[in-house]
Amino acid sequence: MRVAALISGGKDSCYNMMQCIAAGHQIVALANLRPAENQVGSDELDSYMYQTVGHHAIDLYAEAMALPLYRRTIRGRSVDTSQVYTKCEGDEVEDLYELLKLVKEKEEVEGISVGAILSDYQRVRVENVCKRLDLQPLAYLWQRKQEDLLREMISSNIQAIIIKVAALGLDPDKHLGKTLDQMEPYLLELSSKYGVHICGEGGEYETFTLDCPLFKKKIIVDSSEVVIHSADAFAPVAYLRLLELHLEDKVSPVPDNYRTSHYCYKMIYVIPMVTTKILPIEDAQKKMRKESKHVTTEKSTKHKGQLQERKE
């Protein structure tokens, strides 16, 4: 299936693309929603749907993947915040609709890669847009255990850094700019102590991907600055503004047979395309788990065998 990937620059949208490729799909384009350039505080837009921190570096992200990038300015706001979304003029979801409509027309895509993990708010709205455009949403990370996901992302060579913190225990001076593997032990500790979502699904932190197996080149941050958004004494909100970046050639190029490489061995399940109504999440999960029992890959078996050989 020809697929366009919704990207924010973060780890989740990146890892979901890897899962799409493992499933045999072809990523042919990237899509991103951005704040207006002249908007005050545009680095950190107050949006229920979209990550905007790091949006200045999205062009390099697309260049690193050597894929066409489609972008649209977020003109709307969160108007309809109900549990079940319906088309609403002036809502930021309609910006997503217009963006994906353009991508479908230009690239003839059939599916959309979505990095959603836990947010029903986002899931319902993406499904609504995809249904209206007759597109298949592909969300392989949906409802996965976050501890497992973070471990998989790190082991899959996703090099992502923390670019926003907004939770008790996360210090702008200490943690902004740290990589996922550097942060994993501490995030597990925070989860145990305070119930922090390990993958940041509660808005505790956001990331930006500098390199992954899909990149033909890696992104290098030359300079950045810390911006304090809210100086709360216990849970300050701050982000890293990426000022200067450049692309650098990778020592090991992306293999031609990437789909069968060991980075993409694990198959999960997909949010089903809803044709009549949005399924309750419990029903969707049951359907996906039932379908996932029949989904096996030769690569998965091969990878397990390789691991066993290494242990021996």
Question: Which domain CATH number covers 163?
Answer: 3.40.50.620
**pLDDT score of 25:** 97
192, with CB counted inside 10 A (0-12, 13-18, 19+), is: exposed
Task: List, for residues 238-283, the tens digit of each pLDDT value.
Answer: 999 999 999 999 986 555 545 433 444 344 444 443 333 333 334 4
Q: Decide if pLDDT at 225 tops 80.
A: yes
pLDDT score, position 46? 64
pLDDT of residue 76: 81
- The pLDDT assigned to 39 comes to 56
Q: Given this model, what pLDDT does residue 260 score?
A: 37
* Burial annotation 121-131 (CB, 10 A radius, 16+ → b, else e): bbbbbbbbbbb
Global confidence as pTM: 0.81
Check whether 3 has a pLDDT greater than 90.
Answer: yes
Quickly state the pLDDT bin for 37 (edges 50, 70, 90): confident
**pLDDT exceeding 70 applies to what percent of the chain?**
77
Res 42: pLDDT: 56
Share of the chain above pLDDT 90, in %: 61
What is the structure's pLDDT at 227?
93
**What are the DSSP calls for the chain, one per residue?**
-EEEEE--SSHHHHHHHHHHHHTT-EEEEEEEEE--TTSTTGGG---SS---TTGGGHHHHHHHHT--EEEEE---B----SSS----TTBHHHHHHHHHHHHHHHH---EEE---SS-HHHHHHHHHHHHHHT-EEE-TTTT--HHHHHHHHHHTT-EEEEEEE-STT--HHHHTT-BHHHHHHHHHHHHHHH---TT-TTSSEEEEEEE-TT-SEEEEEEEEEEEEEE--SSS-EEEEEEEEEEEEE-SSPPPTTGGGSGGG------PPPPSSSPPPHHHHHHHHHHHHTT---HHHHHHHHHHHHHH-
pLDDT higher than threshold 70 for residue 305: no
Mean pLDDT of 230-245: 89
List the domain range (segments joined by +) for residue 50.
Answer: 1-312
Mean pLDDT of 285-295: 47
Q: Is the pLDDT of residue 201 over 60?
A: yes
- pLDDT computed for residue 310 by the predictor: 43
For residue 303, pLDDT over 70 is answered with: no
pLDDT at 44 over 90: no
| Residue 141 scores a pLDDT above 90 | yes
Q: Which pLDDT score is estimated for 290?
A: 54
Token pair 């007759």 is found at 134
> pLDDT: is 8 or 293 the higher one?
8
Domains contained in the chain, number: 1
